Amino acid sequence: MKIVSLCLFAIIAFGVPVFAAHHDEYPVATPPLTEGIFPCSNCHAGMDVNTKRRQLKDEHTNIKLHHAENDRWCLDCHNPANRDKLKLANGDTIPFTDSYLLCGQCHGNIYRDWKVGIHGKRIGYFKGGKRVYFLCVNCHNPHDPKFKPLKPEPPPIRPEEQAHGR
């Protein structure tokens, strides 16, 4: 009872639940932000927030949203109050390095696999050294997440074409 009232007090006093969503820490890679674009507040700090859903005409025109674009737009994931953070569906704000929490809201099965190292990629030392977990966004463009086809490396030389150096 005491704890509940304490929580209520905290929520009333600070406007946010004191128990923010707990999650494990991962040694994640640096998010692939366009150079010079971060912190977003450099430009956004003095700007009024326009929450009206619209096509952007002046800035960020290189971003073509192709990720359930009929159901969402910028401010569903980007936090309007502080642009240097992302926003979860429950209203929590998270840094860009925790973006997997945002992706995991919809892609729960993939998130589960990512946490145990089955989906995604880990490099470096699995023991006794620095290890890096790639973030979802290191491989998938969050605005257009489908993995793009690649040019393959050359096929092996056929034995009949292989000179043996004799």
Residues that bind other proteins (CB under 8 A): 113, 116-129, 134, 139, 147, 149-158, 162-166
Residue 70 CA from chain centroid, whole number = 20
Q: Which is nearer to other proteins, 27 or 117 (CB)?
A: 117
Contact at 8 Å (CB) between 88 and 79? no
The two structure tokens encoding residue 92: 């929590």
Q: Which is nearer to other proteins, 78 or 119 (CB)?
A: 119
Four-residue CA torsion sign, 20, 87, 13, 45: positive
Q: Which is nearer to other proteins, 78 or 115 (CB)?
A: 115
Contact at 8 Å (CB) between 95 and 86? yes
* Cβ neighbours around 13 below 10 Å, total: 9
Q: Which is nearer to other proteins, 40 or 110 (CB)?
A: 110
The two structure tokens encoding residue 49: 């927030």
Rg over CA atoms, the chain? 22
State the nearest-atom distance from the C-beta of 121 to other proteins, in Å. 4
State the nearest-atom distance from the C-beta of 37 to other proteins, in Å. 24
State the nearest-atom distance from the C-beta of 65 to other proteins, in Å. 23
State the nearest-atom distance from the C-beta of 105 to other proteins, in Å. 19
